[in-house]
Structure 1
């Protein structure tokens, strides 16, 4: 078995409204893995988006890892709860995106997500622009990390709405105990979209979870840090392989 076969395949699931090319530098920094991706930028419904992801995961020979960011992280957790992956690499992920007021440190109010959906019908560009402005901290903008983000406007309005429905309605929090695979969590401490409290929640509720906190980082903690994160992730995955924490290894 060669090294690529031993490490397996990473299936990449991008965040809401984002081009899959946002992961290009991470893929380049992880040449010892196979790479695949799901394009749900034209999904017409919440159901279709979920089916696209499930079908892709079921077609890949193990060991399979899911690399998910934000919306993609929620979809990845859903797959893990169904036993469809051997490991997770999650960025700015949340097991339940919409939360009641008393859990504002772990997610957004449902009303705000509904407002975004209504706004898409009037001016989708304005909604996307406002969302993208929330992705980075002031320091990250000063460092021009935001300039590494791919251009917007690549999703259809139907897909944008489908993604919002996933964020509103999908809930994996009550099923975290079903997850048996190891998880590598990367989360910015200043994330305004998936608050850092969501990462602490995941790390406390999932036995084989490791949290890598990125100080002073917002919602895209991997951007501009790909080489370092790839190095940490590779070391961690090798540890999981030796310890036998993944069923397929």
Structure 2
């Protein structure tokens, strides 16, 4: 089944397990390519929301994708014996979208990178998130020069050491998202919250979080660990906001161990 402009699902191969990948703000889905290659036991899907024209459209794309995977005409049809559990793997914005889907009961498990249940926080909670004013400033900046906003965002994604080692060069080129999609993603980061629903998400969750993450601070990972009933946190000391980039082999090994523990 080939991807098409009208279908947000992009199917890569048919195997036993199923993973739906949700990427981070402004990032093309290809950022996960190497990690997917190291997980050949799974059937891989992704949702392309890089051209979403509103927050509602972006939320609808993700939910429709999952529903299309699980249901036909309202009846559950996915054969778990054939395709295995449905996992959603989300990074940053994609992690927030994944938590939203888990709260609706669509998934069997989550694997999250640099994720948070609430992106913008009050001053007292800056160890778990950023000020709303920071995101509003990004929104204003996009109307003036989106390239500057995306460049500055990428600068804070990595630690100084990660920049020195050339890790940032592993990111795909900028510009793959439309301006409207960038704005939609930022609006979701401002408004979406899953904190109150975490205790009811009773599915296995694997968390990867860098201690030097400046976008979704490490405190957000600790918060998820504390409030999700079945969470395991892999702490990546001295790593920033892209904890899988350049470390895909280690991530895949941890993922596989967690997988075997639960399934």
With the length of structure 1 as denominator, give the TM-score of the two structures: 0.93
Deviations 1:142-179 (A, max 9, x none): 21111111111110110000000110000000111220
Secondary structure at the counterpart of residue 15 of structure 2: helix
1:59 CA drift (Å): 2.0
1:180-219 equivalences in 2 (<5 Å): 180-219=202-241
1:4 CA drift (Å): 3.3
Q: Is the 8 A contact 1:186 1:214 kept in 2?
A: yes
- 1:46 matches 2:68: no
Equivalent residue, structure 1, for 2:73: none
Equivalent residue, structure 2, for 1:4: 15
| d(CA) in 2 for partners of 1:68, 1:74 | 7
Secondary structure at the counterpart of residue 87 of structure 2: strand
Equivalent residue, structure 2, for 1:245: none
- 1:129 matches 2:148: no
Secondary structure at the counterpart of residue 209 of structure 2: strand
Deviations 1:47-81 (A, max 9, x none): 11001001111222352100100000000000001
Q: 2:67 aligns with which of 48, 58, 78?
A: 58
With the length of structure 2 as denominator, give the TM-score of the two structures: 0.89
Count of aligned pairs: 237
Secondary structure at the counterpart of residue 4 of structure 1: coil
Q: 2:252 aligns with which of 230, 236, 241?
A: 230
Secondary structure at the counterpart of residue 20 of structure 2: strand
| d(CA) in 1 for partners of 2:149, 2:185 | 14
Deviations 1:110-132 (A, max 9, x none): 11101100110000000000001
| d(CA) in 2 for partners of 1:68, 1:178 | 19
1:138-217 equivalences in 2 (<5 Å): 138-217=160-239
| d(CA) in 1 for partners of 2:143, 2:213 | 27
Q: 1:70 aligns with which of 61, 77, 92?
A: 92
1:21 CA drift (Å): 0.3
Equivalent residue, structure 2, for 1:35: 44
Q: CA RMSD in A?
A: 1.0
Secondary structure at the counterpart of residue 89 of structure 2: strand
Secondary structure at the counterpart of residue 134 of structure 1: helix
